[in-house]
Amino acid sequence: MRSEKMIKCLPIYERNSKVFRDIIDVEAEEIDNKALDIEDFIKQLSIDTATWGLDIYEKELGISKDINKSYEERRSVIKSKYRGIGKFDKALLESIANAYTNGETKAYFNGKLNILFEDIRDHILNLVDFENTLEEIKPAHLDYVLYIRENDRIELEFKAVEIPVIFPVCNQIAAGGEAL
């Protein structure tokens, strides 16, 4: 297609030349390849569409590269790291939490940080990376509690065992007549 446009730019007496047509065909293919390279490069400029460019973002932000993570998980870490630069407040906390979900996140403070994840349908919540990011940006003296409100099925992904997760006690469970 591109070669036909280029051939139309030639003088009439050169359009029927096999030599010129072959040269134009090769040049058109090279131009198409360069256009694809440029398009791919432009995709790397946005975190949401980057693939091989994620390595550069991670290096710039001092994030260790984990090849076992999907592009989406790596993008979440990068976004939260960028958002985590600045004064720590409610807006920053919600912004970072939103980087890990497609849903709505709310945060409030009552002696400790309370983070409520709402409506996170069709998204795997990577709590390990979120907690690591939260620990990096929050003041060290503040504790936090994570809440997840979901009406549908939810998937939680834990990739590390070292992080203690405290669940609130709602009721006691009886096993064999003895309360646990």
Model pLDDT for residues 36-79, shown as the tens digit of each residue: 999 999 999 999 999 999 999 999 888 888 888 889 889 988 88
Structure tokens at 23: 């040269």
Q: Where in the chain is the domain with CATH 3.30.70?
A: 87-174
Q: How far apart are CA 147 and CA 118, in angstroms?
A: 8
User: What is the average pLDDT across 136-165?
Assistant: 70
User: What is the average pLDDT across 112-130?
Assistant: 75
pLDDT score for 29: 93
pLDDT score for 142: 81
User: How confident is the model over 59-71, as pLDDT tens digits?
Assistant: 988 888 888 888 9
* Nearest by Cα to 133 from 59, 78, 90: 78
Class of domain 87-174: alpha beta
Other residues' Cβ atoms within 10 Å of the Cβ of residue 105 = 19
Mean pLDDT of the chain: 80
According to DSSP, the β-strands at 144-149 and 125-126 are unpaired
pLDDT score for 64: 86
